[in-house]
Amino acid sequence: MMKIKKIFLILFFIFSFLNIQSANAKTQKWDFEVQSVDKDLIKCIKVIDVKSKRNALSTLGNMGWSNTGFIVRLQNKCSEEIKGTYEFKILDKDGFIVDDKYEKFRIGRKGISKQTFKFYMHTLSWGKVKKVTKAQLDFSFDIEINDELQKQIEKLKKVIYGQN
């Protein structure tokens, strides 16, 4: 009877410790690169930040596999709604792609959008990227450039490149 109590007590402390660890999981900020084939529309998009958080408890319970949550905040600097997709690529320290995911986005005029998604990753893959925290976002747009949007893009170019 005493052995069962000891085992139960040990298990209780282990699970309590793991719950504390998962509740206090650190949010990691990521460095990122932004790319697009459309060199005009990309000037309307600003990636504010990229963050992630990984739950240690679910990793232990799933033999090393876990969902890692990500948040990408985007800002539209133009006065037209912009929508499309971006490929979110997680890179290792040498710049190789460890994992990637396509996400749709839609940002109202002069608005900010918060995109949330999860990667199902193994601990070994996560180990390659958790200290580097580097990502690449490749944008594709589902919008045509009308005259008004073209004027705003030209204004942004002047601000960015310092032309008058």
Q: Output the pLDDT for position 20.
A: 44
pTM of the model: 0.70
Structure tokens at 58: 């679910």
Structure tokens at 23: 């509740």
Structure tokens at 117: 């998604």
| Closest among 65, 84, 69 to 122, alpha carbons compared | 65
- The rounded distance, in Å, linking the Cα atoms of 91 and 16 is 34
Structure tokens at 157: 């170019």
pLDDT band at 41 (very low <50, low <70, confident <90, very high): confident
Please tell me the chain's helix, strand, coil percentages from 3-state DSSP, rounded to the nearest 5. 35, 45, 25
Q: Which position has the higher pLDDT, 41 or 160? A: 41
How confident is the model over 138-154, as a mean pLDDT?
80
Please answer whether residues 122 and 90 qualify as being in contact, where contact means their C-beta atoms are separated by less than 8 angstroms: no
- Percent of all residues in the chain with a pLDDT value above 90, rounded to a whole number: 26
- Percent of all residues in the chain with a pLDDT value above 70, rounded to a whole number: 79
Give, as one character, the DSSP assignment of residue 41. G
* Three-state secondary structure of 139-154: EEECCCCCHHHHHHHH
Asked if pLDDT for residue 143 goes beyond 80, the answer is no
pLDDT band at 14 (very low <50, low <70, confident <90, very high): low
| Closest among 112, 126, 138 to 53, alpha carbons compared | 126
Sorted by where each starts, the structural domains of the chain and their CATH numbers stand as 26-161 (2.60.40.10)
Is residue 132 classed as helix, strand or coil in its secondary structure?
Answer: coil
Is residue 93 classed as helix, strand or coil in its secondary structure?
Answer: coil
- The rounded distance, in Å, linking the Cα atoms of 21 and 4 is 26
pLDDT, one tens digit per residue, over 84-132 is 999 999 998 888 888 899 999 999 988 999 999 998 887 877 777 777 7
Among 44-48, 68-72, 160-164, which stretch is predicted with the lowest mean pLDDT? 160-164
Asked if pLDDT for residue 18 goes beyond 70, the answer is no
